[in-house]
Structure 1
């Protein structure tokens, strides 16, 4: 039966309209996995010698175990933000004679094949080989290595619970944050007893039973959690919830585009995926701290121009690049209405402009770094409004991958609504402000670079109608292909 499931998933992937894009995405992900996997292998190979050099008076295996908790905390953080949980269309399987347990075991088994599990393997396997070569006890080393892999799988199923259940998230997240805070403020060093625990796993091989038991318990909890809602009635029936209507009548002042703006605001407020994007776009405000606090980058103003564009462009880059995928669930209905396509696109542009403006206001604390830095942020905001917004809308015309609005997605790694063409469109977004600033800066002075960057945005605003007309033509040309593609579900 597992073989049959694999066959069905392969057919779903190869027969979809986004097959070629999916292949390109998979290739990019494989290249990324090879790169980071290679780094993990290298770090695992040198970690023994690095700890021996850093703490010559302590056995390296003890030092490694003392810091092991930080790896698992990092892994949990990485999983939460980047690991995409496997998806399987189970509705057709519910009405045919297949055991629920088999389907659930397959679904949970898919999570074990996550790259983040192999990342730990790539890290700990070279370290294990070094320990064996150095003459450490074979049984102790192999049991310790196996226990670490089991704990890695534990983080996998723990992340599954955190992502699938708000209750588990509200229990585990504050606990982890609290322990990290206690460690940081030197109130209670949780790493010390946990370091003793990892050393005990190495010194006493029989303690491998503890991570094995923990893994079994987490697996069964996940199994029970999925099985509890694995009923056709729960899947098909609509749950009645009390809805609090939001008064958006003040948006009527925007005229013909007001209905579209209201629709977008409601979409963001009522659905999981847009809310995540909104939160992530807020984090872009802090992007400048990476560059403005480093003296190295002050000597490379082109990189400061790049950072300044990101400070105010978080929402534009994250939400805007997925236009029109946000409307994929009702795009066919939307396109069947007697509405001007131009108004639809114009509403998206105004939404991005408002977001950039709000981000610019929120960026005023950057005045702490001086007027030059803040002037660069202002120039970057104008570039976002006048040029970046149109480049983003143009990229959306080539995006025909649907988005499930209430599927909890990973802000960084989820490819739902993504296609490789966006990477090419992203190049002028990233390199554009750097080039527009750097050439006048190099030929004249710093102020000339700022004026050139800001002027490019002003010119974009002046020729707004021209750009929107051209983009509208592209959207109209691919309208029916987009409608057909949105009718399918991404894998």
Structure 2
């Protein structure tokens, strides 16, 4: 049966509209995989010798065990934002004589074939080989390595649960926040007993049954979670909810774009995913606390410019990057109306401008760090409105991944609608403001850098119609490809 599943998925993939597209993106991603895999491999080979040189009095295996908890937390965070969970159209399979357990096992098995599960192997396999060459006990090293592999895959299934259940996400977030807080304020060092546990895992090979049991347990939890909703009635039944009417007549003052603005406000108000993204954009306001309070970053004005883009650009970077995917469920109907495409794009631009402006007002408390910091935030706000907004709209022309608006089962910040193209489009959003500020700052002074960064946004606003016209042509060129992509389920 697995053979048939693989055959079905290959046909679905090879016959889709995106199979022969984005070759350049695929090549870049392949190069990225080779690059990071190579770095991990070299790190694994040299880790023993690096630790021995830095801390000659400490055993490298003990040092690694003491820091493994940070590795697994970092791995989980990266998975949460980057790992694409496997999807499968199971509705047709529900009406044919195929066991539910077989389908669910196949779906969970697909999660094992992930780049994020293999990166740790590139580090721990060569590190374990070096340990064996250096005379460490064979059984201890092999069981320790096997335990780490079990924990890596357990992390994989934890991430699956986090993305599927809000309850799991918030509970895990609360636990991590408490542990980090206790560690930061020197109340309780949670990393120390965990480091002792990993050392015990190495010293006593029989304890390998603990991570193995954890892996099996996480697999069963995921299995039961999926099986609980794996019924035809649950899959095809329409969830009927009462829509709350909101008076948006005051938006008529925006003229011809008012209709689109009203539609976007209702979309955010009535659907789960846009609400989650709006919550996430609010958290970006606190991004400056990481950079403005650290001497490492505060002494480097280029990094201050980088942070300031995020402080006021949260809504633009989160909601804006999924234009036009937000309208994927009714995009075909929208494009059949006798409306100018430019007005549609202009409404999205206005929405991002409002989001950036509100964030700028809410960032007023950053005056506490001085006028230089607040002036940087103001210059970054101008850049976000005048240039970043248009870069974001341009990126939307390459974004043909649909978004499910009301997927309440998925957790905050889920990656539905995410595609690697967005990562490439994000580069100029972050690098360009740093260059615009740093070059005049380096050759003249700080104030000149602020003026150049701020004026770049002003020029962008002045040429708004020019940019919108150019972007409109790109959207028009790929209009039918986008409709076809959004029609695929």
Q: TM-score if structure 2 supplies the norm length?
A: 0.88
Residue 210 of structure 1 and its aligned partner are, at CA, apart by 2.0
Q: Which residue of 2 is the match for residue 18 of structure 1?
A: 18
Q: Which residue of 2 is the match for residue 171 of structure 1?
A: 171
Q: Which residue of 2 is the match for residue 36 of structure 1?
A: 36
* Contact 2:325–2:417 (8 Å) recurs in 1: no
Residue 99 of structure 1 and its aligned partner are, at CA, apart by 1.6
Question: Which piece of structure 1 moves more, 439-448 or 399-408?
Answer: 439-448
Change (3 A) 1:273 1:19: farther
Question: Which piece of structure 1 moves more, 363-372 or 1-10?
Answer: 363-372
Separation (CA, whole Å) in 2 of partners of 1:409 and 1:20:
32
Separation (CA, whole Å) in 1 of partners of 2:387 and 2:486:
28
Residue 193 of structure 1 and its aligned partner are, at CA, apart by 3.0
Change (3 A) 1:54 1:328: same
Q: Which residue of 2 is the match for residue 405 of structure 1?
A: 405
Separation (CA, whole Å) in 2 of partners of 1:428 and 1:175:
36
Change (3 A) 1:220 1:334: same
* Contact 1:325–1:417 (8 Å) recurs in 2: no
Separation (CA, whole Å) in 2 of partners of 1:145 and 1:439:
48
* Contact 1:382–1:458 (8 Å) recurs in 2: yes
Q: Deviations over 1:11-58 (max 9, x none)?
A: 222221122345444433333233333333333333334444555444
Question: Which piece of structure 1 moves more, 80-89 or 181-190?
Answer: 181-190
Change (3 A) 1:360 1:94: same
Separation (CA, whole Å) in 1 of partners of 2:435 and 2:212:
55
Residue 386 of structure 1 and its aligned partner are, at CA, apart by 2.3
Residue 85 of structure 1 and its aligned partner are, at CA, apart by 1.4
Change (3 A) 1:307 1:159: closer
Q: Deviations over 1:433-477 (max 9, x none)?
A: 455445655676544443343333333333433443443344344
Q: Which residue of 1 is the match for residue 417 of structure 2?
A: 416
* Contact 2:243–2:270 (8 Å) recurs in 1: no
Q: Deviations over 1:355-398 (max 9, x none)?
A: 11112122223334432332232222222222332333233234
Change (3 A) 1:436 1:14: same
Separation (CA, whole Å) in 2 of partners of 1:185 and 1:292:
20
Q: Which residue of 1 is the match for residue 367 of structure 2?
A: 367
Separation (CA, whole Å) in 2 of partners of 1:295 and 1:192:
27
Aligned residues: 487
Separation (CA, whole Å) in 1 of partners of 2:431 and 2:174:
40
Q: Which residue of 2 is the match for residue 105 of structure 1?
A: 105
Question: Which piece of structure 1 moves more, 4-13 or 21-30?
Answer: 21-30
Q: Which residue of 2 is the match for residue 222 of structure 1?
A: 222
Change (3 A) 1:184 1:458: closer
Separation (CA, whole Å) in 2 of partners of 1:423 and 1:191:
33
Separation (CA, whole Å) in 2 of partners of 1:300 and 1:459:
26
Question: Which piece of structure 1 moves more, 183-192 or 286-295?
Answer: 286-295
How do 1:244-259 and structure 2 match up within 5 A?
A: 244-259=244-259
* Contact 1:402–1:486 (8 Å) recurs in 2: yes
Q: Deviations over 1:373-426 (max 9, x none)?
A: 3223222222222233233323323433323334548969x5835464x66755
SS state of the match for residue 357, structure 1? helix
* Contact 2:286–2:311 (8 Å) recurs in 1: yes
Change (3 A) 1:393 1:409: farther
Change (3 A) 1:4 1:27: farther
* Contact 1:162–1:169 (8 Å) recurs in 2: yes
Q: Deviations over 1:269-306 (max 9, x none)?
A: 44444344334433443444565556676776555545
SS state of the match for residue 350, structure 1? helix
Q: Which residue of 2 is the match for residue 465 of structure 1?
A: 465
Q: Which residue of 1 is the match for residue 202 of structure 2?
A: 202
Q: TM-score if structure 1 supplies the norm length?
A: 0.87
Change (3 A) 1:14 1:342: same
SS state of the match for residue 20, structure 2? helix
Separation (CA, whole Å) in 2 of partners of 1:143 and 1:266:
55
* Contact 2:166–2:412 (8 Å) recurs in 1: no
Is 1:277 matched with 2:277? yes
Q: Which runs of 5 or more residues in structure 1 are unaligned?
A: none
Q: Which residue of 2 is the match for residue 391 of structure 1?
A: 391
Separation (CA, whole Å) in 1 of partners of 2:120 and 2:44:
9
Q: Which runs of 5 or more residues in structure 2 are unaligned?
A: none
Question: Which piece of structure 1 moves more, 226-235 or 365-374?
Answer: 365-374
Separation (CA, whole Å) in 2 of partners of 1:60 and 1:181:
28
